[in-house]
Amino acid sequence: MGDPFHTVLCERLGCSTPIVQTAMGWIAKPELVAASCEAGAFGFLACAVMRPEEVGPAIRRVKELTDRPFGVNFHMFQPGAAAIVDIIIAERVRAVSFGRGPDQAMIKRFRDAGILCMPTVGAAKHAKKMVELGVDMITVQGGEGGGHTGSVSTNVLLPQVLDTVRVPVIAAGGFRDGRGLVAALAYGAVGMAMGTRFLLTRESPVPDATKAKYLEAGIDDIIVSTKLDGMPQRMIRNGILARIERAGRLGMLIRAIQSGLEMKRRSGASFAELLQSARGMRSHGGLSFPQALMAANAPMLIQRAVVDGKPDEGIMATGQIGGLIRDLPSCRDLVERIMEEARERLAMLTGSDQDAAPAQVRVC
């Protein structure tokens, strides 16, 4: 009998464990991606918040740090998206992840270049649509996930998607340990994806002041709000989020404009590019213009917390499991611990080790 943890995800992505490090904006930088890949997971580089001229150097930096395969994340509404697609194809990374932006022709370009397409979806109908467009695998994020999230929990959404599509499925939303990995595989997924758990590692570039706020947060400190851009987002409750929650339509418009100006300053994008990005978000999600502008520019608020180290002035996206994490392991220690827990849990379930005590999965 083969290794039950060497799944089709490992075979196709070239990683040694069925664990994916998700592409968190401003966080999944080359150093974290390389560290997660070296630990045996498959890492995604977050290019959705990069300018086109930054993408190539970032990909090459990952290649300098590791010879393990990795992926790139982007979205089709960001300024310079077409140029970024060309760069990704030229660099021949192993996989690409995205939301519901690319069309069939775009997906075909990636596949013709030998790049696996792994979109992230939050509904069964979107999974079905992605398969129709020709993707290779799908990451399914349940409502427990961080940032933009849906209302259906992973343990309901995951089997629904598995019953709908016939491509390999990766489970996301609420995963942090070996028990979660065994549960994901038991449902029929080929692996699990984690964001918040990799955010809280030693190699994560998030400043110490912000990491401390994450580690202090309890379950009751994590909420879902629609006021940031009109779409549900899971975040840690803080002062700026409370002000956004109290803001009316005028306040939302003012904040959207401020955020847009800040993004223009930091990214070098033109007003035309920002408006094009907002229009794309609006037509895609049926949002009002202020909501679409905030959706296009909300990364500025995230950057303030996770890049500038000012957690009280920015937004801290988190999965629900963030309220349980209390330590900062290295990526290698984290992955090794997860796999040890998973093997102990599986042995207990199958009775393959009669002397094995129940795995003591620490609250971490």
Q: What is the pLDDT of residue 349?
A: 93
Give 265's pLDDT tier (boundaries 50, 70, 90).
Answer: low
Q: Which of 91-100, 201-210, 223-232 has the highest mean pLDDT?
A: 201-210
Q: What is the pLDDT of residue 148?
A: 84
Report the share of the chain in percent with pLDDT over 90: 69
Ranges of beta strands (E only) in the chain are: 19-21, 42-46, 71-73, 95-97, 116-117, 120-121, 138-141, 147-148, 169-172, 191-194, 222-225, 233-236
Give 308's pLDDT tier (boundaries 50, 70, 90).
Answer: very high
Average pLDDT (70-81) is 90
Q: Which of 149-153, 173-177, 278-282 has the lowest mean pLDDT?
A: 278-282
Q: Please identify which residue in the block is written with the tokens 């408006």.
A: 275
Q: What is the pLDDT of residue 230?
A: 72
Is residue 350 left, alpha or beta, with left meaning phi > 0 and alpha meaning psi from -120 to 50?
alpha
Distance separating alpha carbons of residues 201 and 194, to the nearest angstrom:
12
CB-based contacts of 237, cutoff 8 Å, min separation 6: 221, 222, 223
Distance separating alpha carbons of residues 152 and 363, to the nearest angstrom:
25
The crossing angle, in degrees rounded to 10, of helices 239-246 and 249-267 is: 130
Q: Which of 22-26, 201-205, 233-237, 276-280 has the lowest mean pLDDT?
A: 276-280
pLDDT for 253 beyond 90: no
CA-based Rg of the chain, rounded to a whole angstrom? 20
pTM of the model: 0.88
Q: Which of 13-17, 52-56, 145-149 has the lowest mean pLDDT?
A: 145-149
Residue with more model confidence, 358 or 69? 69
The crossing angle, in degrees rounded to 10, of helices 249-267 and 271-285 is: 130
Residue with more model confidence, 185 or 240? 185
Average pLDDT (203-230) is 93
Question: Structure tokens of 56?
Answer: 């190539």
Average pLDDT (228-255) is 80
Maximum C-alpha span of the chain? 66
Q: What is the pLDDT of residue 192?
A: 98
Q: What is the pLDDT of residue 297?
A: 55
210-233: buried (b, 16+ CB within 10 Å) or exposed (e) per residue?
bbebbeebeeebbeebebbbbbbb
Q: How many CA atoms lie within 13 A of 201 on its CB side?
A: 27
Give 234's pLDDT tier (boundaries 50, 70, 90).
Answer: very high
Q: Where are the domains of the chain?
A: 8-205+329-350, 208-322
Q: What is the pLDDT of residue 78?
A: 81
Distance separating alpha carbons of residues 147 and 161, to the nearest angstrom:
21
Secondary structure string (H, E, C) spanning 58-115: HHHHHHHHCCCCCEEECCCCCCCHHHHHHHHHHHCCCEEECCCCCCHHHHHHHHHCCC
Assess contact for 159 and 187: CB atoms under 8 A.
Answer: yes
Decide: residue 362, CB within 10 A, 0-12 exposed, 13-18 middle, 19+ buried: exposed
Distance separating alpha carbons of residues 265 and 64, to the nearest angstrom:
30
Average pLDDT (81-86) is 94
CB-based contacts of 164, cutoff 8 Å, min separation 6: 124, 127, 128
Distance separating alpha carbons of residues 345 and 237, to the nearest angstrom:
34
> Could you give the angle at the alpha carbon of 87 between the alpha carbons of 85 and 92, nearest 5°?
100
Q: What is the pLDDT of residue 244?
A: 81
Is residue 40 left, alpha or beta, with left meaning phi > 0 and alpha meaning psi from -120 to 50?
left
Q: What is the pLDDT of residue 262?
A: 64
Question: Domain 8-205+329-350, what fold?
Answer: TIM Barrel (3.20.20)
102-126: buried (b, 16+ CB within 10 Å) or exposed (e) per residue?
beeebbebbeeeebbbbbbbbbbeb
Q: What is the pLDDT of residue 289?
A: 62
Give 281's pLDDT tier (boundaries 50, 70, 90).
Answer: low
Distance separating alpha carbons of residues 161 and 182, to the nearest angstrom:
18
Q: What is the pLDDT of residue 295?
A: 61
User: Which SS3 state, helix, strand or coil, does residue 214 take?
Assistant: helix
Give 364's pLDDT tier (boundaries 50, 70, 90).
Answer: very low
